[in-house]
């Protein structure tokens, strides 16, 4: 069978890498892909991003299943359009993807269906938003309503930061339409975990847990990024917490969407805050896999991902189970100079050869030009390793990271540290 993967990041390289192991799959196309997918012999990059042209391509190449990596095409209704053309695709429709594409939609939905989340209010008027800050005080969290590539959230520790964030979003339009409406929410404390499931509208198949590292610098300092590293499993998600997440967050979300007349098919990602008393609150929903969480999660997956997603796209997930290696995996993100603000591109990457069975370098912002691999985006590589323990995985990943070089590379030295507490 033929598969088409939409996207060009580390997540999509990991999806293509995993799907290439399926005995059912002959050919994988990635649109548009990166240098990592280009270098793989059974994967072919295609330089198409327009949805109508992707449909034409899927029809011409007899694509059996399309898998959508990132949120933007989902929010543009790529799934609705493929389905209208009788093509199988795994991902949520435009309507279902609003859980991610509008924070206001998702907060209203959670309140309506009793899904635990921080208290909030929504504003389009800057004056009213400033008044709300005067009333509530800091710390407080300001979020752009729309998609902002992980950068639309300001955790304001002072009133001044909160007022500045409101000005940036509502008055200066720094996030364009995405920030023309904002959600202001209660500041939550605890430990974060990412919990991702596969859903076919009815049946839910949870993936292994993981933990992301959103801040740019060690010890969770610096600006929020798309994610600087991740590991799986996350020890904070004990079997008891796993059960609670399923019963308090995941299952009510799928049921609530159904009640509201929206079938949820796709990956559902709940970003969670778990406090000292094991109370769970939902920070956000994503309607796709996380990046970089996908990399360590899929590095531990034993089951045939293609078969699972193919069946899920036909609402036949029931009866599937999912098998994991009994180990830990970790991904260290190497990011470009000046990421996340204005990442520099075109730096040559060297030292990308020595991987073995327990290590792999997933490419993200890379491009192949005249046989050289150059940086082409903010997050450049995801250095991934597995080991019997997280400590072992971490040591292998950092060893490999230290052998890879490009000018201005930034990475955190403390990925996984929280798990060793």
Shortest gap between Cβ of 56 and ligand GLY (angstroms)? 29
Q: Which does 384 bind (CB under 5 to 8 A by kind): ligand GLY, ligand AMP, none?
A: none
Q: Which of residues 277-296 bind ligand AMP (CB under 6 A)?
A: 283-284
Query: Which residue number is nearest to ligand AMP in terms of Cβ?
Result: 284
Stretch that binds ligand AMP, among 180-188, 198-206, 237-245, 344-352 (CB under 6 A): 180-188
Site string for ligand GLY, 281-320 (x = CB under 6 A): -----x---xx-x---------------------------
Site string for ligand GLY, 177-216 (x = CB under 6 A): -----------------------------------x----
Taking CB under 6 A as the criterion, the residue among 70, 91, 227, 266 binding ligand GLY is 227
Q: Which does 64 bind (CB under 5 to 8 A by kind): ligand GLY, ligand AMP, none?
A: none
Spatial strand order of the sheet with 89-90 comes to: 43-45, 27-32, 2-7, 65-68, 89-90
Calpha distance 340→300 (Å, rounded) = 28
Calpha distance 233→294 (Å, rounded) = 12
Across the strands, what pairs with 195?
270
Q: Which does 153 bind (CB under 5 to 8 A by kind): ligand GLY, ligand AMP, none?
A: ligand AMP
Calpha distance 151→135 (Å, rounded) = 26
Give the interface size with ligand GLY as a residue count (CB under 6 A). 8
Stretch that binds ligand AMP, among 121-129, 174-182, 185-193, 347-355 (CB under 6 A): 185-193
Calpha distance 370→359 (Å, rounded) = 26
Q: Report the sign of the C-alpha dihedral through residues 184, 188, 192, 198, in that order.
A: negative
Task: With residue 163 as reference, give the H or E element that holds it.
Answer: helix 159-166
Instruction: By CB under 6 A, tell whether 36 contacts ligand GLY.
Output: no
- In contact, 97 and 71? CB cutoff 8 Å: yes
Q: Which does 7 bind (CB under 5 to 8 A by kind): ligand GLY, ligand AMP, none?
A: none
Shortest gap between Cβ of 186 and ligand AMP (angstroms)? 6
Q: Kindly tell me which of 97 and 188 has the beta carbon lying closer to ligand AMP.
A: 188
Q: Which does 365 bind (CB under 5 to 8 A by kind): ligand AMP, ligand GLY, none?
A: none
Report the relative pairing of strands 89-90 and 65-68 from DSSP bridges.
parallel
- In contact, 74 and 92? CB cutoff 8 Å: yes
Distances (CA, A) of 89 to 97, 306, 381: 14, 12, 27
Report the relative pairing of strands 182-186 and 65-68 from DSSP bridges.
unpaired
- With tokens 């309607």, the residue in question is 287
- In contact, 333 and 362? CB cutoff 8 Å: no
Taking CB under 6 A as the criterion, the residue among 192, 200, 248, 293 binding ligand AMP is 192
Q: Which does 291 bind (CB under 5 to 8 A by kind): ligand AMP, ligand GLY, none?
A: ligand GLY
Residue 172: count of CB within 10 angstroms of its CB: 12
Taking CB under 6 A as the criterion, the residue among 142, 153, 208, 380 binding ligand AMP is 153
Shortest gap between Cβ of 286 and ligand AMP (angstroms)? 8
Taking CB under 6 A as the criterion, the residue among 150, 179, 201, 378 binding ligand GLY is 150
Query: Which residue number is nearest to ligand GLY in terms of Cβ?
Result: 227
Q: Which of residues 87-126 bind ligand AMP (CB under 6 A)?
A: 118
User: Among 383, 351, 379, 348, which residue's Cα sits nearest to residue 365?
Assistant: 379
Q: What is the dihedral of CA 176, 147, 293, 4, to 10 degrees?
A: -110
Length of the chain: 421
Residues that bind ligand AMP (CB under 6 A): 118, 141, 143, 153, 155, 185-188, 192, 214, 224, 271, 283-284
């Amino acid at each position: 069978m033929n598969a088409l993967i939409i996207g060009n990041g580390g997540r999509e390289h990991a999806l293509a890498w995993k799907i290439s192991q399926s005995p059912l799959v002959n050919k994988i196309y990635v649109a548009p892909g990166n240098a990592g997918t280009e270098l793989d012999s059974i994967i072919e990059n295609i330089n198409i991003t327009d949805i109508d042209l992707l449909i034409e391509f899927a029809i011409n190449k007899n694509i059996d299943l399309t898998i959508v990596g990132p949120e933007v095409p989902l929010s543009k209704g790529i799934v609705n359009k493929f389905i209208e053309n009788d093509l199988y695709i795994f991902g949520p429709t435009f309507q279902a993807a609003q859980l991610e594409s509008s924070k206001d939609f998702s907060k209203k939905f959670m309140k309506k269906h009793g899904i635990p989340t921080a208290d909030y209010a929504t504003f389009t008027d800057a004056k009213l938003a400033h008044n709300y800050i005067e009333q509530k005080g800091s710390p407080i969290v300001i979020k752009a309503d729309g998609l902002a590539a992980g950068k639309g959230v300001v955790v304001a520790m002072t009133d001044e930061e909160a007022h500045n964030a409101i000005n940036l979003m509502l008055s200066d339009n720094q996030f364009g339409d995405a920030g023309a409406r904002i959600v202001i929410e209660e500041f939550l404390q605890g430990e974060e975990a990412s919990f991702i499931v596969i859903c076919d509208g009815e049946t839910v198949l949870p993936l292994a847990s993981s933990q992301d590292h959103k801040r740019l610098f060690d010890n969770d300092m610096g600006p929020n990024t798309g994610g600087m590293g991740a590991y799986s499993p996350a020890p904070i998600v004990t079997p008891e917490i796993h059960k609670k997440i399923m019963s308090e967050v995941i299952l009510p979300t799928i049921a609530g969407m159904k009640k509201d007349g929206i079938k949820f098919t796709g990956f559902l990602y709940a970003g969670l805050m778990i406090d000292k008393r094991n109370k769970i609150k939902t920070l956000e929903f994503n309607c796709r896999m996380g990046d970089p969480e996908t990399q360590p999660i899929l590095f531990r997956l034993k089951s045939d991902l293609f078969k699972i997603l193919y069946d899920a796209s036909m609402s036949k997930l029931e009866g599937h189970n999912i098998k994991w290696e009994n180990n830990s995996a970790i991904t260290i993100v190497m990011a470009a100079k000046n990421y996340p603000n204005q990442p520099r591109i075109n730096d040559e990457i060297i030292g990308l050869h020595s991987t073995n069975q327990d290590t792999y370098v997933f490419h993200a912002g890379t491009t192949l030009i005249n046989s050289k691999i150059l940086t082409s985006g903010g997050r450049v590589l995801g250095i991934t390793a597995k080991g019997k323990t997280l400590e072992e995985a971490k040591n292998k990943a950092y060893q490999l990271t230290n052998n890879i070089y490009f000018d201005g590379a930034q990475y955190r030295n403390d990925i996984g540290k929280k798990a060793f507490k």
